[in-house]
């Protein structure tokens, strides 16, 4: 007996259903029946089998391979991390052509599938994360079918990292860093309460200063008052970030003796920082004791303070929700200064040490993410030598003063938690030089012009500009 197996599309190259003989010899049993084994492939479709034997009529009959293998699907994406509101694409590759695949067959944790395109065995899924955590994507079983009606097997899941926690922590860390440096630079100088020199001497005053890229205002009471106040502010623009800082202080002291003042102060500040859709607004307070003392028989002055406080901040990292965040703060400062007269020139050497911290407590944001605790610690030492020299005027109707100075500044930033990724351009060692002129009108006020350059000796950082000031006495 001869067994011939052919595809139903005889004469054409076919990759569909077929079968192959596993034995070429006939076997006859006692009833005269012959049998032979043929193995069909796994592709669905029909094929013909023809059996013939010498002296017998050939018999042809059709058989069909049944496809019972379910299609598989694999997910891939080039995205590794995404922010809330930032969509990304996932490719779904089936092992064979399928139909019936739809967006409802896509499961997304912490996000949603918002678009589906493609056909056959290749599809593209667009995913929109919610920001509530890492995004997981998978395809359910049975959503798509092959030509034999077999439903697909469920896919393995892939995960894409959400940057919500990281970006929120960095935003808060940068905010705390900015506030810490602003707090240091706006600390009121209290030495004048004993020395009679410096910015706080004389009557109460109103000061308005405008610098390149920054505006400042300053209101202070008469320094001889038992209760004194200070109000300052700054507006700055840097890249895409805008910030406004307001600082206020009120204090009171009493004289222990002619060379020692002891008191307490309350400081209030507010910082509003915006960068595109992200924003942080925070108001805080610090309270604590201070002292000012003078070495007997020497023009050497020492002032110090130790303040503790808290802040309440509204954090909106993506502009879609706002969280309330609390921090604890600490500030310590010690300053030593002197006064030496050489002819008509007064030299004022000084050294100032400042240390401040701002620690954010852990919290759970509006999306359910646990934002970890973090903190910034900023330390700075400043060694300066200032000078003042009166200049003669022709009409003698006012007082003209040449002033300036140079200071060496060393600063460091120590972060913890999410703030580890926060850096500052002014961290390290640098120098600052100043030179200016002031003209005091007879009992009318003071007009001042000053130029400065900051960043001497530091690569990658420089700051310079022109400052104009006006003091009005009252």
Q: Of the segments 251-265, 389-403, 412-426, which one has the largest average pLDDT value?
A: 251-265
Taking all residues of the chain, what is their mean pLDDT, rounded to a whole number? 81
Mean pLDDT of 108-136: 93
Q: Are 147 and 67 in contact (CB under 8 A)?
A: yes
- The vertex-81 CA angle with 80 and 84, nearest 5°, equals 145
- Residue 38 CB contacts under 8 Å (≥ 6 apart), including other chains: 3, 5, 19, 20, 21, 22, 49
Q: pLDDT at position 241, please?
A: 73
The CA-to-CA distance between both ends of the chain, in Å, stands at: 126
- The vertex-210 CA angle with 207 and 215, nearest 5°, equals 95
Distance CA 355, CA 372 (A): 24
Pairing of strands 45-52, 2-7: antiparallel
Q: pLDDT at position 307, please?
A: 98
Q: Are 242 and 273 in contact (CB under 8 A)?
A: yes
**Largest alpha-carbon pair distance within the chain?**
145
When mean pLDDT is compared across 59-63, 87-91, 106-110, 249-253, the lowest value belongs to: 59-63
Q: pLDDT at position 471, please?
A: 52
Is the four-CA dihedral 129, 133, 134, 138 of positive or negative sign?
negative
Q: Are 19 and 40 in contact (CB under 8 A)?
A: yes
Q: What is the pLDDT of residues 214-231, one digit of tens each?
A: 445 555 555 445 678 887
Range(s) of the chain covered by CATH 2.60.40 = 73-162
When mean pLDDT is compared across 29-38, 74-83, 302-311, 371-380, the lowest value belongs to: 29-38
Q: pLDDT at position 16, please?
A: 63
Q: pLDDT at position 116, please?
A: 95
Distance CA 321, CA 327 (A): 20
- Residue 215 CB contacts under 8 Å (≥ 6 apart), including other chains: 209, 233, 234, 235
- Residue 61 CB contacts under 8 Å (≥ 6 apart), including other chains: 48, 49
Distance CA 372, CA 259 (A): 48
Strand spans (E) along 95-211: 106-109, 111-119, 122-129, 135-139, 158-162, 205-211
CATH of domain 165-473: 2.40.128.130
Q: pLDDT at position 202, please?
A: 40
Q: pLDDT at position 200, please?
A: 39
Distance CA 142, CA 154 (A): 7
Q: pLDDT at position 199, please?
A: 39
For residues 20 and 110, the model is more confident at 110
Fold for domain 73-162? Immunoglobulin-like (2.60.40)
pLDDT band at 422 (very low <50, low <70, confident <90, very high): low
When mean pLDDT is compared across 75-79, 81-85, 463-467, the lowest value belongs to: 463-467
Mean pLDDT of 368-391: 91
User: What whole-number percentage of the chain has pLDDT above 90?
Assistant: 39
Pairing of strands 158-162, 81-82: parallel
User: For residue 55, is pLDDT > 90?
Assistant: no
User: For residue 351, is pLDDT > 80?
Assistant: yes
When mean pLDDT is compared across 51-55, 251-255, 469-473, the lowest value belongs to: 469-473
Which H helix or E strand runs over 92? Answer: strand 88-94
pLDDT band at 431 (very low <50, low <70, confident <90, very high): confident
Range(s) of the chain covered by CATH 2.40.128.130 = 165-473
User: What whole-number percentage of the chain has pLDDT above 70?
Assistant: 75
DSSP character string of 279-348: EEEEEEEEEEEEEEEE-TTS-EEEEEEEEEEEEEEEEESSSS--EEEEEEEEEEEEEEEE-EEETTEEEE
Q: pLDDT at position 14, please?
A: 44
User: For residue 304, is pLDDT > 60?
Assistant: yes
Mean pLDDT of 136-144: 95
User: For residue 25, is pLDDT > 70?
Assistant: no
Mean pLDDT of 300-322: 94
Q: Are 48 and 18 in contact (CB under 8 A)?
A: no
Pairing of strands 370-371, 323-338: unpaired
- Residue 415 CB contacts under 8 Å (≥ 6 apart), including other chains: 173, 177, 374, 375, 376, 377, 422
């Amino acid at each position: 007996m001869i067994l011939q197996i052919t595809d139903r599309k005889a004469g054409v190259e076919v990759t569909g259903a077929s079968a192959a003989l596993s034995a070429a010899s006939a076997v006859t049993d006692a009833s005269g029946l012959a049998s032979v084994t043929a193995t069909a492939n796994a592709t669905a479709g029909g094929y013909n089998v023809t059996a013939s034997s010498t002296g017998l009529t050939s018999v042809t009959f059709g058989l069909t391979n049944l496809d019972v293998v379910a299609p598989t699907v694999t997910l891939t994406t080039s995205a590794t991390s995404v922010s809330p509101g930032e969509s990304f694409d996932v490719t779904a590759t089936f092992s064979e052509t399928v139909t019936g695949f739809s967006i409802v067959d896509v499961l997304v944790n912490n996000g949603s599938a918002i678009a589906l395109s493609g056909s056959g065995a290749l599809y593209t899924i667009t995913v929109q994360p919610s920001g509530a955590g890492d995004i997981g994507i998978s395809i359910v079983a049975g959503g798509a079918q092959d030509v034999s009606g077999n439903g697909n097997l469920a896919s393995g899941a892939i995960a894409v990292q959400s940057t919500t926690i990281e970006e929120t922590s960095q935003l808060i860390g940068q905010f705390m860093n900015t506030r810490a440096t602003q707090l240091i630079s706006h600390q009121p100088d209290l030495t004048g309460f004993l020395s009679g020199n410096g910015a706080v001497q004389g009557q109460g005053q109103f000061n308005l200063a405008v610098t390149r890229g920054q505006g400042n205002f300053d209101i202070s009471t008469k320094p001889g008052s038992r209760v004194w106040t200070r109000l300052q502010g700054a507006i700055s623009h840097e890249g895409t970030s805008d910030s406004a800082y307001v600082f206020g202080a009120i204090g009171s002291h009493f004289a222990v003796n002619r060379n020692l003042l002891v008191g307490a102060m309350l400081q209030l500040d507010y910082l509003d920082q915006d960068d595109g859709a992200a924003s942080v607004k925070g108001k805080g307070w610090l309270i604590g004791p201070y002292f000012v003392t003078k070495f007997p028989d020497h023009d050497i002055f020492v002032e110090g303070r130790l303040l503790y406080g808290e802040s309440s901040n509204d954090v909106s990292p993506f502009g879609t929700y706002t969280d309330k965040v609390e921090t604890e703060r600490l500030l310590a400062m010690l300053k030593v200064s002197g006064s030496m007269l050489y002819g008509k020139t007064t030299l004022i050497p000084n050294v100032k040490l400042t240390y401040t911290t701002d620690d954010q407590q852990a919290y759970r944001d509006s999306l359910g993410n646990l934002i970890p605790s973090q903190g910034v610690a900023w330390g700075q030492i400043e060694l300066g030598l200032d000078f003042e020299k009166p200049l003669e005027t022709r009409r003698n109707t006012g007082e003209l003063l040449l002033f300036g100075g140079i200071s060496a500044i060393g600063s460091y930033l120590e972060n913890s938690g999410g703030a580890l990724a926060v850096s500052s351009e002014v961290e390290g060692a640098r120098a600052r030089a100043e030179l200016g002129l002031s003209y005091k009108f007879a009992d009318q006020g003071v007009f001042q012009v000053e130029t400065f350059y900051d960043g001497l000796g530091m690569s990658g950082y420089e700051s310079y500009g022109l400052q104009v000031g006006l003091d009005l006495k009252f």
